[in-house]
A = this chain, B = another copy of it.
Amino acid sequence: MKNLVYLQSGGPTAVINSSLYGAIKEAKAQGIPHIYGSRNGVEGLLNDDLFDINKEDPEQIELLLQTPGAILGSTRYKLPSDSDDERYSKIVETIETNDIGLVLVNGGNDSMDTCAKLSRLFAKKGLDVKVIGVPKTVDNDLSATDHCIGYGSAAKYVINTVKSVCVDAACYKKGKVFVVEIMGRNAGWLTASVDLLPAPYRPDLIYLPEDAFDLESFYSEVKAIHEKKGHCVVAISEGIIFPRDTSAARVDAFGHIQLGGAADDLTRLVEKNLGLPTRSIELSLPQRADPILISKVDRDEAIECGRLAVKAGLSGQTGCMVALHRVSSSPYKVEYELKPVEGIANVEKKIPSDFLDSVYHLTPAFREYLYPLIQGEVDIKFEDGIYAVAKFRYNR
């Protein structure tokens, strides 16, 4: 039996290492001799930078279940389209040197592109190397799967954190306008999740990139709510589009204007146009990384996707991604299936129209969809008041 190499890729999630955990458990059960981690995703294949996960301490493997970040290192490296590019020869060399028979790629849209390119490469070269994708992204924008691994935990973090903001915001008679910025450039899945919060501690307004954003109606909504309640909480996706003051925009190292900070810009506009006190709150990295509020459903599915990816490869499948098919929401039941990765990367799944009924109201169908994904709390191991993370020998 040949060896396995595991790649992590793109932005990490709170459960990214839980899929690795599932793959390790299944690979050991199946008797795969060496389970290699590829350091920084495909970069490890390009530089023959692999390490043997079997040599790591079993206790550390268990801690993968609560370790955020990508324990193997991540990458945003994009493989060239030209399959004759010399970089592909390096990858083949690494594969052959280490006697690899199965490559698992854990990531989002870009990683499924890597998956497709690698499976094409091995087919072209006549190598018996299988490639299976393991879905992961807090953005929930991968097509071909009911939902993405990592979304449930990020949504649970966002929902609970925004609840705290709403509770705190309600304390003063004369409060502020709070604008909370949540991840999602083109798809508003994470922002929409706050719709699951019951009144009175839910945002008054929710704005998604799927809808056109109109500043004037935003002002009048905010003004009316602030007058009535004494404060107003607005949840926005980072990707909503409105006229920005580019004079204060930041220019990056390459001279490109970076618009970011939508909440900050919006609060400035509210101050200027409505004369109300404001506070912008960007949930930022912790919403994808924080493990304290991991959803048990999400973690169980993360583990299962890792296991099934190993099984699929060993059964001869390649060029596929493990996908989730929802059988029912209540009771919640999913089935796992394999979908060809070819083309998956080109489709960004936005919130469908039957989940939306106006600019800031999501439908009961959306809440039914989201509800099961945030269920269940997990036990977190703390050491002296601080949550523990796995430590691998290779990177210490």
Chain A residues within CB distance 8 Å of chain B: 12, 40, 43, 67-70, 73-76, 156, 159-161, 163-165, 167-173, 178, 196-198, 200-201, 247-248, 250-253, 261, 264, 267-268, 271-272, 275-277, 279, 281-282, 284-286, 288-293, 295, 371, 374-377, 380, 382, 384-387, 389, 396
Contacts of A282 in B (CB 8 A): 281-282, 284
Contacts of A371 in B (CB 8 A): 384-385
Q: Is the CB of A196 within 8 A of B386?
A: yes
Instruction: Note all chain B residues with C-beta closer than 8 A to A171.
Output: 12, 69-70, 73-74
A178 to B371, CA, bound (A): 33
Provide the bound-state CA to CA distance between A53 and B69, in Å. Answer: 45
Are the CB atoms of B276 and A253 closer together than 8 Å? Answer: yes
Say which residue of B70, B164, B267, B380 sits within 8 Å of A291 (CB atoms).
B164
Asked, given contacts A75-B173, A160-B292, whether A385 binds B376 with beta carbons under 8 Å apart, the answer is yes
5 shortest interchain CB distances as A-B pairs:
A69-B167, A374-B385, A248-B248, A168-B289, A164-B289
| B-chain residues with CB within 8 Å of residue A248 when the two chains form the complex | 247-248
A-B contact pairs, 25 of them (CB 8 A): A67-B167, A68-B164, A69-B164, A70-B171, A73-B171, A73-B172, A74-B172, A75-B172, A75-B173, A160-B387, A161-B286, A161-B290, A163-B387, A164-B285, A168-B285, A169-B285, A250-B271, A252-B271, A252-B277, A264-B264, A281-B285, A282-B284, A374-B384, A374-B385, A374-B386
- Roughly how many angstroms separate A362 CA and B291 CA in the complex, as a whole number? 27
| Complex Cα–Cα for A43 and B171 (A) | 13
Bound-complex Cα distance A248 to B178 (A):
20
Q: Are B69 and A168 in contact (CB under 8 A)?
A: yes
With beta carbons under 8 angstroms apart, the residue of B40, B178, B196, B288 that contacts A168 is: B288
Cβ–Cβ contact B159 & A385, under 8 A:
yes
Q: How far is the CB of A124 from chain B (nearest CB, A)?
A: 28
Distance between A371 CB and nearest chain B CB, rounded to angstroms: 7
- Which residue of the partner chain, among B264, B377, B386, contacts A160 with CB atoms under 8 Å? B386
CB-based nearest B residue for A267: B250
The smallest C-beta distance from A369 to any residue of chain B, in angstroms, reads: 14
Specify which of B169, B200, B252 is in contact with A396 (CB 8 Å cutoff): B200
What is the bound-complex CA distance between A67 and B289, given in angstroms? 24
| 7 further A-B pairs in the complex, CB-CB below 8 A; given A68-B168, A160-B386, A247-B248 | A12-B168, A67-B167, A74-B171, A198-B386, A247-B247, A374-B386, A377-B385
Cα distance, A161 to B293, chains bound together (Å): 12
In the bound complex, residues from chain B placing their C-beta under 8 Å from that of A247 are: 247-248
- The residues of B that contact A293 with a CB separation of less than 8 Å are 292
Which residues from chain B contact A396 at a C-beta distance below 8 Å?
200
Which chain B residues border A271 with CB–CB below 8 Å? 250-253
A386 / chain B contacts, CB cutoff of 8 Å = 159-160, 163, 196-198, 374
